């Protein structure tokens, strides 16, 4: 039961006991809140910003979803379930959240982006086509890739509307009795006095619950410093929306979402949708911009736009018109760029979730189901062995954590070196992708 009282300055103060508390009501937290409420749990969601908000990694009108997955073939099984759950949420919300355009994963013939995507399509028997750069241009004239590049076209790719997905999950959870508090920052959490539950203190109150889910995105290193400090590191990203000179080439029916590995780095993009402009960005935007989420530069500068425009001018010249918008968001990167989904070391009543590294939103629907499983029973029917926090050798036996911690000294430099190596083409090893020599040619 929740208690509410009005204190000095007009602020409302709260308290109460729940079956579960979810800290961070963004992509993953809102989905976890929904799945717990769907199971009849008394659940509280705590969010330091608004719902939705533009301070993290879940804004910008569109997020890519794709089945062919060069990051690791094992993600495909989770993606199949994610698609099912997104469609269920659409039916419940009464609005379209997922739009199908097809997806392009392209790069040099021996690149890990093309070959990893093709391997996942072959392994999971996904419908697909392999096109040369010239063939891709004839099919989709907006694309101007080098003629010798190869592109995997998978027809079921597309994009999600991230803000509306979060709202849909939250409202569906509230309809089932979930309680949500926005603009309420968590200050401290730890086990309850008896040791079996948890206690969470915020700016506005103190709460208790049987289980706790930490899903605070770029702030996970601060909320769980002993487990994730220096492991989940925030990185500044910039997105551009440019007005196409030939708008008809960039409509959803004529322009698949893309992931491209080119000479300048790895880029992703979308058709024009919802707001003016063809949207795109670069993974690990300017490489060096890593650190604490509250200290990252939120302003857009000329160098951001210049780098993005140079990419568009070369590979999408008909899309390189006037700038419509430039926005800053964040990635939260792990050392191997895979997710973290696990029980907190030494505290089985606490679940940690950091699906991250720039490719997590599409999984939110199924990650919410997984987090609810872990909070319910400590296990999930989904295989999450790739995402265990133990692969980073965290400290064990931790009994509490305060929401105030900086990454260890040198974290940014180490992650920057890993990022540079990734751009240099060594991600096959870092991501555990299939090596090029392990994949037979698809033609």
Q: What value does the mean pLDDT of the chain take? A: 87
For helices 27-38 and 162-175, angle between their N-to-C axes, nearest 10 degrees: 30
- The CATH class that applies to domain 2-57+163-232+337-406 reads alpha beta
Reported as a single tens digit per residue, the pLDDT across 416-440 is: 333 333 333 333 322 333 332 333 3
| pLDDT tens string 35-87 | 999 999 999 999 999 999 988 888 899 999 999 999 999 999 999 999 999 99
Active-site annotation, residues: 59, 62-63, 279, 284, 329, 362
pTM of the model: 0.87
- Residue 30's pLDDT band, with cuts at 50, 70 and 90, is very high
Confidence check: pLDDT of 292 > 50:
yes
In the chain, where the domains are located: 2-57+163-232+337-406, 95-159+237-331
Q: What is the structure's pLDDT at 290?
A: 84
Q: In the chain, what percentage of residues exceed pLDDT 90?
A: 75
pLDDT surpasses 70 at 10? no
User: What is the predicted pLDDT for the residue at 287?
Assistant: 73
Residues 95-159+237-331: name the CATH superfamily: D-Amino Acid Oxidase, subunit A, domain 2 (3.30.9.10)
Q: Which of 162, 210, 206 is nearest to 62 (CA)?
A: 162
């Amino acid at each position: 039961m929740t208690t509410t009282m009005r204190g000095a300055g007009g602020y409302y103060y709260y308290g109460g006991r729940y079956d579960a508390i979810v800290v961070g009501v963004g992509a993953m937290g809102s989905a976890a809140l929904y799945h717990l409420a769907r199971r009849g749990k008394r659940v509280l969601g705590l969010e330091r910003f608004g719902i939705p908000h533009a301070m993290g990694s879940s804004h910008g009108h569109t997020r890519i979803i794709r089945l062919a997955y060069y990051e690791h073939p094992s993600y495909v099984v989770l993606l199949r379930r994610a698609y099912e759950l997104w469609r269920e949420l659409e039916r419940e919300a009464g609005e379209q959240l997922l739009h199908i355009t097809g997806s392009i994963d392209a790069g040099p013939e021996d690149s890990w982006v093309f070959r990893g995507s093709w391997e996942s399509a072959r392994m999971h028997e996904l419908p697909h086509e392999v096109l040369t750069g010239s063939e891709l241009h004839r099919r989709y004239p907006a694309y101007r890739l080098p003629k010798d590049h190869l592109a995997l076209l998978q027809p079921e790719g597309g994009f999600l509307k991230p803000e509306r997905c979060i709202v849909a999950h939250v409202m569906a959870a509230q309809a089932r009795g979930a309680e949500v508090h926005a603009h309420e920052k968590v200050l401290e959490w730890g086990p309850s006095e008896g040791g079996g539950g948890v206690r969470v203190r915020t700016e506005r109150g103190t709460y208790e619950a049987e289980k706790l889910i930490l899903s605070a995105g770029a702030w996970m290193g601060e909320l769980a410093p002993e487990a994730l400090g220096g492991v989940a590191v925030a990185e500044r990203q910039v997105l551009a929306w440019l007005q196409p000179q030939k708008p008809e080439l960039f409509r959803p029916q004529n322009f698949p979402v893309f992931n491209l590995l080119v000479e300048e780095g790895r880029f992703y993009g979308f058709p024009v949708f919802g707001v003016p402009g063809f949207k795109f960005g670069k993974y690990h935007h300017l490489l060096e911009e890593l650190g604490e989420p509250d200290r990252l530069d939120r302003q857009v500068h000329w160098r951001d736009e210049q780098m993005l425009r140079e990419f568009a001018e070369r590979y999408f010249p008909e899309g390189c018109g006037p700038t419509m918008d430039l926005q800053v968001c964040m990635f939260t990167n792990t050392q191997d760029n895979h997710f973290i989904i696990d029980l907190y070391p030494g505290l089985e009543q606490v679940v940690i979730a950091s699906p991250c590294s720039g490719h997590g939103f599409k999984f939110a629907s199924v990650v919410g189901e997984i987090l609810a499983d872990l909070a319910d029973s400590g296990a999930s029917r989904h295989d999450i062995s790739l995402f265990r926090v133990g692969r980073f050798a965290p400290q064990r036996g931790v009994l509490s954590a305060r929401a105030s911690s900086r990454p260890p000294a040198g974290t940014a430099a180490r992650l920057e070196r890993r990022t540079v190596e990734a751009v240099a083409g060594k991600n096959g090893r870092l991501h555990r992708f299939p090596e090029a020599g392990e994949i037979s040619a698809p033609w």
